[in-house]
Amino acid sequence: MDDRRLKEKLSGRVRYPQDVSSKNLLHVMVLYSTEIRADLLGFELPELPQDVFFITSKDIPGKNWLDFGDGGMPLLAEKEISYKGQPLALIYGPRLDELEGFIDKIIVKTETLPPLSDLDIQESKAISYERRIQEGNSEGIFQKDENNVLEDFFETTEQWHFSFPAPYSSCQKEGPRYIIHSITQWPWMVQKNVCSTLKLRKDQVQIKTYPCENSQDSKLFIPIQTSCIVALACFLSKKTTTLTPYPTDGLFLSRGRGSIQYYLKAATNTQGDLLALKIDFSFDSGAWPIWEKEWIDKICFASTASYHCRNVEIHGKSQPTNNPPTGQFPDSALSSVFSMIELLMNSLALQCKGDILQWKKKNILRKGNGFFTGALLTKEPGLDKLIDEVVERSDFKRKHSSYQYQSGRDSHHSLGIGSRGIGLSTAYLPSGFLTNNSDLYGAAVSLKLNQEGQLSISLPFQPGHKQLYKYWALTASEMLNIDQKQIQFLINNQPLLAGPGTLGRNITVINQLILNGLQWINKRRFRDPLPLEVTRRYRKKTAKWNDSGFTGNPFQFLSWGAMTVELMTDEETGYIDIKQIHIALDTGPLMIPSLASSVVERGLRQAHNWLTGSFQIPRVNFPGFKDRIPFNVFWQRSQSQPRSLDGLVQILYPAAFLQALSQATGQSQHNIPPLSQERSNL
Amino acid sequence: MTLNIQLNGTVVELTSPSEYRLSTVLKDQCRGIHLGCGQGKCGSCLILVDGLPRYSCQMPFFSAKNKKITTIEGILNSQEFQDILKGFKRANLDICDFCAPSRVLSIYYLLSKSYTPDQGEVEDVLSAVNCSCSSYDSLQRGIFFSIEEKNRRLHG
């Protein structure tokens, strides 16, 4: 990084939407629902000065609907409130302190309705998406007496993460155009929604993007909402508007990951081969299902985790509730399903009275055996090597034997001493989407080399980290032998270049598209006249995936990983001390090595927050942010192209952590976060 | 409520409701303050109050009375800022634009002490800003290089 840029960064001169100022700046505040479910009857307002305005869904000139490609939600509630925290109305004016006073005095007239109950859900009144898959004959295998069969219930609760910078927005009116200042990775989707909300043409709305920093996927949903809010206020007032940060608005949190309940059943033969798996799960998609098909299908695809099993029976359903709409994460729901399958497999291996390590190695995915969808692994995924790495580096073998010894001593936990545990997990992370919705799966990159030798690269999104621009500029400079200063990046606002290739996992896809485009230009640059222009698209119609039959291989790239977590619980204080985490990852060549380690650390921290954040046992003190989680990473680079990294650690950590906790406490874990009754012996 | 505050070495008169968050009041004066969680968790509104790091979102406006407040703008001409700049460059540290001012201010606090800080103090300072844009190891390296730069400047 050059000195000027570093100085600008460190001295806080980089601007954000919050810094947009104007003489007539209006602050916008959102009135949120405090009810879970109710009929919205109206509002009782205090006397407002002339320069303070209150707007509801009736004031929206266009559609009161935010479209996220697959699913959506209203910008402001109309007749019914469907979750706590739903935006009901906006208030805007020049003085923030006045607004805060007024917003507290607004009375929302409602008629409370009972929230959607478990009974409603059980009666299938509210299933919004469902998938049933049957491969092989799992039922027949479960019924054979000689097989080991194990069944269990598991649950993962909703997940929230801190996400900085919070995606606040501002809007300026310049002549006939509206300039939206937004921290978004998905500018054309913001533009599309603002146009639809305000009934404007695309040329009337310009999106100015700001650094997104971490590739948290909350940058997909929330900026669309906040941008439409400020744009609406700007449209009605004709003045510059800014959405004012407010501690309770929760915008610094990512959209929650919905809770999932599982019923799992698995069978092995007497030799310990995994023969059949049954998985029945229900996913809480919140009040407004967004991308639920993607969630459900991805869980279905990953329902055998990193194990080989051809007899599967899967039933997954998505159910709307009165919780906030579910967001999207780099790993979607994979951290949940992988964790639960790993816990079941762990129990199954113990039931087989074999060595857990050998059992895992016997049943993991290998070259040639592939997934239950029929997709074969044509290359060796190398999970063996990854497992060996973490096992050798950790205390797994010794601990495992001592655990067996320890588990035979029933009286151990009554002695009041701390105990240790170690868990092992394996996982893979796919790039891309399963869905056929063109707004979601598509990603395209355009490159143009003009007569002056300048190269422009149009991306469909804003990368989470600026170092990626530097990486691609360096790559293009080396391939085409042009100066890096002659390379510029454009964020394309046209839906022609669909997203969200915006997500961290899809960086690898975009990277490949850029490389393909550069290679194309390199071949023709001395043969064809300039300018040369090329567009490269991901996921053509010929993709080998049958969505309706759920067969084939939907993913171009897979990255692989293994992890051990060693921890110790102190029975006196309830403190859980993470002793060491060993991670082995095969993500191909690292695009930006310095960034990779921070992605791993962030992944661990986010996953740890999930395991501990909503923890309800006051006497158990998990390590907080201040306590570093000690970890070592071994990078295996057997693959030739960069693979997804963001999200892989989040999948690996919960499974290994819960196994370790099970060992340490002597109680098998079935939930994330662990429930209090299961921890009562601590 | 009107208060005279010594902001970055200059006495300024600020008017705001007394219970208002200091971060919001100062935001108009100092663009380096970012408004984050508003709960004292993220650290993006970190300032120095009488030389000590404080989250300004957790301070009501009235509590700034007779205080000496330093923000990132107030340290840009200091030697310590140059030390941090050099230290970060040596460590090839690329933190995010959002947390950078608060991170630098917290490290400035560390460097402005007369002695060489130990590992524990470095970790304390790192924990002041809760942003996960960079790994702890790389941040720590940046801090230790900054300390080295300071010592080199002072002692040759």
Write out pLDDT tens, residues A414-432: 444 568 889 999 999 887 6
Tell me phi and psi for residue A124, to 5 degrees. 60, 25
Alpha helix positions (H), A106-238: 118-122, 138-143, 187-198, 218-237
A-chain residues near B59 (CB < 8 A)? none
pLDDT band at A579 (very low <50, low <70, confident <90, very high): confident
pLDDT band at B130 (very low <50, low <70, confident <90, very high): confident
User: Which amino acid is residue A135, in one-letter code?
Assistant: E
The predicted pLDDT at position A170 comes to: 95
The predicted pLDDT at position B73 comes to: 94
Overall average pLDDT of the A629-634 stretch: 89
β-strand pairing of A241-243 with A169-174: antiparallel
Per-residue pLDDT tens for A125-162? 677 889 999 999 999 999 998 999 999 999 888 777 66
Q: Among A310-324, A424-438, A583-597, B53-67, where is mean pLDDT lowest?
A: A424-438
The predicted pLDDT at position B135 comes to: 81
For the cut 60, the answer to whether the pLDDT of residue A326 exceeds it is yes
Per-residue pLDDT tens for A336-353? 899 999 999 998 988 887
Mutate to test the interface with B, among A1, A5, A7, A10 (most CBs of B within 10 A): A10
**Contact A508/A555 with Cβ under 8 angstroms?**
no
The predicted pLDDT at position A96 comes to: 80
B-chain residues near A15 (CB < 8 A)? 31
- How many residues make up chain A in this entry? 682
Report for A15-24, A666-675, B33-42, B106-115: range of highest mean pLDDT: B106-115
pLDDT band at A506 (very low <50, low <70, confident <90, very high): low
The predicted pLDDT at position B109 comes to: 94
Q: Among A307-316, A533-542, B73-82, B106-115, where is mean pLDDT lowest?
A: A533-542
For the cut 70, the answer to whether the pLDDT of residue A329 exceeds it is no
For the cut 80, the answer to whether the pLDDT of residue B140 exceeds it is yes
**Joined tokens for residue A638:** 């057997």
**Contact A84/A34 with Cβ under 8 angstroms?**
yes
Tell me which H or E stretch contains A491: strand A487-491
User: Chain A: which residues have CB within 8 Å of chain B?
Assistant: 1, 3, 6-7, 9-16, 18-19, 96-97, 162, 164-166, 211, 213-214, 245-247, 252, 466-467, 594-595, 597-598, 600-602, 605-606, 625-626, 628
Alpha helix positions (H), A463-575: 467-480, 507-524
For the cut 50, the answer to whether the pLDDT of residue A618 exceeds it is no
Per-residue pLDDT tens for A451-472? 988 999 988 777 767 778 888 9
The predicted pLDDT at position B107 comes to: 94
Tell me phi and psi for residue A320, to 5 degrees. -65, 140
Report chain A's mean pLDDT, rounded to a whole number: 82
pLDDT band at A597 (very low <50, low <70, confident <90, very high): confident
Alpha-carbon separation of residue B39 from A246, A249, A638 (angstroms): 10, 11, 45
Contact residues, B window 106-125, toward A, CB-based 8 Å cutoff: 123-124
More confident residue, A6 or A110: A110
Tell me phi and psi for residue A182, to 5 degrees. -145, 140
CA distance B146 to chain A (A): 13
Overall average pLDDT of the A622-633 stretch: 66
pLDDT band at A235 (very low <50, low <70, confident <90, very high): very high
Per-residue pLDDT tens for A526-574? 888 889 999 888 765 555 778 888 888 877 778 899 999 998 887 777 6
More confident residue, B130 or A42: A42
B-chain residues near A11 (CB < 8 A)? 32, 72-73, 76, 81, 101, 104
β-strand pairing of A107-112 with A38-44: antiparallel
Cα-trace Rg, chain A = 26
Per-residue pLDDT tens for A177-223? 999 999 887 788 899 999 999 999 999 999 988 877 665 555 677 88
In three-state form (DSSP H/G/I as H, E/B as E, the rest C), the secondary structure along A35-50 is: CCCEEEEEEECCCCCC
A-chain residues near B133 (CB < 8 A)? 213-214, 598, 602
The predicted pLDDT at position A675 comes to: 55
Overall average pLDDT of the A265-294 stretch: 90
Would an 8 Å CB–CB cutoff place B97 in contact with chain A? yes
The predicted pLDDT at position A624 comes to: 42
More confident residue, B44 or A251: B44
For the cut 70, the answer to whether the pLDDT of residue A615 exceeds it is no
For the cut 80, the answer to whether the pLDDT of residue A332 exceeds it is no
Alpha-carbon separation of residue A19 from A218, A337, B32 (angstroms): 21, 42, 10
**Joined tokens for residue B92:** 């090839």
**Contact B23/B35 with Cβ under 8 angstroms?**
yes
Cα distance between residue A459 and residue A447, in whole Å = 9
Cα distance between residue A193 and residue A222, in whole Å = 12
The predicted pLDDT at position A194 comes to: 96
**Contact A537/A360 with Cβ under 8 angstroms?**
no
Report for A439-443, A596-600, A636-640, A670-674: range of highest mean pLDDT: A596-600
- Closest-CA residue to A234 (of A3, A480, A27): A27
More confident residue, A682 or A477: A477
- Cβ contact, residue pair A10, B100, below 8 Å: yes
The predicted pLDDT at position A429 comes to: 87
Overall average pLDDT of the B49-72 stretch: 93
Q: Which residue of B has its CA nearest to A252?
A: B37
A-chain residues near B57 (CB < 8 A)? 247
